[in-house]
Amino acid sequence: MDAEEALIEYLEMFYNLKRAGRALKRFGAVDFATTIAPGMRDVLLTGTPAHSRPMEPGDEVAVEITGLGRLQSTVVDWDVDLTEAGEQPAVSAQTLHVALATPEEEAERMVEGSAA
């Protein structure tokens, strides 16, 4: 299956956009999107999923790509001080609201409670 067909199928399967997918193809959007599709050496970065949490030693991380296979790793403890390694993450009401899909007011209470 070529990249254009795969994108049209994806739009249809996950977003019920069969007709919209065909229209996007007529306007050249599908060609543009599939031309800039990731290649073999590209790295795909994703955002933080809702309800995520910090990883702990022993947690499993798995990535699977159809046709390529599955990569699975176990998180291990690493005794290295990274406090000087750039900007450190900070917990704010906004980060809790976005990362945990927590209502803004609740996120603000959570931050205020942790500061006390």
End-to-end C-alpha distance for the chain, whole angstroms: 57
> Among 71, 11, 3, which Cα is nearest to 38's?
3
Residue 96 lies in a domain: yes
Residue 85 lies in a domain: no
Tell me: the pLDDT tens digits for 13-29? 777 777 777 777 777 77
For the chain, how many structural domains are there in total? 2
Q: Which domain holds residue 20?
A: 3-35
Q: Are residues 7 and 53 in the same domain?
A: no
Tell me: the pLDDT tens digits for 45-87? 666 666 667 788 999 988 888 888 899 999 898 888 777 766 6
Q: Are residues 96 and 71 in the same domain?
A: yes
Q: Are residues 57 and 114 in the same domain?
A: yes
Transcribe 34-89 into DSSP letters.
Answer: HHT---TT------PPTT-----TT-EEEEEETTTEEEEEE--------TTSSPPP
